[in-house]
Amino acid sequence: GEDVEQSLFLSVREGDSSVINCTYTDSSSTYLYWYKQEPGAGLQLLTYIFSNMDMKQDQRLTVLLNKKDKHLSLRIADTQTGDSAIYFCAESISSSNTGKLIFGQGTTLQVKP
């Protein structure tokens, strides 16, 4: 079945770049997403990438997609303390016509001042 894997924890210093990695299994997945969750809050859509793209950049965020290896990454440039949160990778399920998503376990990003 479909599965999404992420590392659980990443710690960086303020001003450094953060790279959060994700692997997925559904090679027919159309869209891949990155969501951010702050404590006690819902999920905020950060960015998404269509499966026929290799890269997408949006201000400090860069998403890289390697379809061959089914690997997705999110790079946050100039990481700030406000970026501390849990980041979820998600893939759309190709067999679903309702837009169901499969989420990874979430990566906790800790930004040290």
Partner 1 sequence: GAVVSQHPSRVICKSGTSVKIECRSLDFQATTMFWYRQFPKQSLMLMATSNEGSKATYEQGVEKDKFLINHASLTLSTLTVTSAHPEDSSFYICSASQGIQYFGAGTRLSVL
The residue ranges that bind partner 1 (CB under 8 A) are 31, 33, 35, 40-45, 48, 88, 98-101, 103-106
In the complex, minimum distance from the CB of residue 15 to partner 1, in angstroms, rounded to a whole number: 28
Q: Cβ 41 to partner 1, closest distance in Å? A: 6
Q: How far apart are CA 9 and CA 91, in angstroms?
A: 20
DSSP state of 82: G
Residue 20 C-beta: closest distance to partner 1, Å: 14
**Tokens 């026929």 correspond to what residue?**
52
Cβ 107 to partner 1 shortest distance, Å = 11
Smaller CB separation from partner 1, 17 or 30 = 30
Nearer to partner 1 by Cβ, of 8 and 77: the residue is: 8
Q: How far apart are CA 77 and CA 73, in angstroms?
A: 13
Residue whose CB is less far from partner 1, 52 or 98? 98
Nearer to partner 1, 12 or 43 (CB): 43
Q: How far apart are CA 59 and CA 75, in angstroms?
A: 11
Question: 3-state DSSP call for residue 6?
Answer: strand
| Residue 45, CB-side half-sphere exposure with 13 Å CA sphere | 8
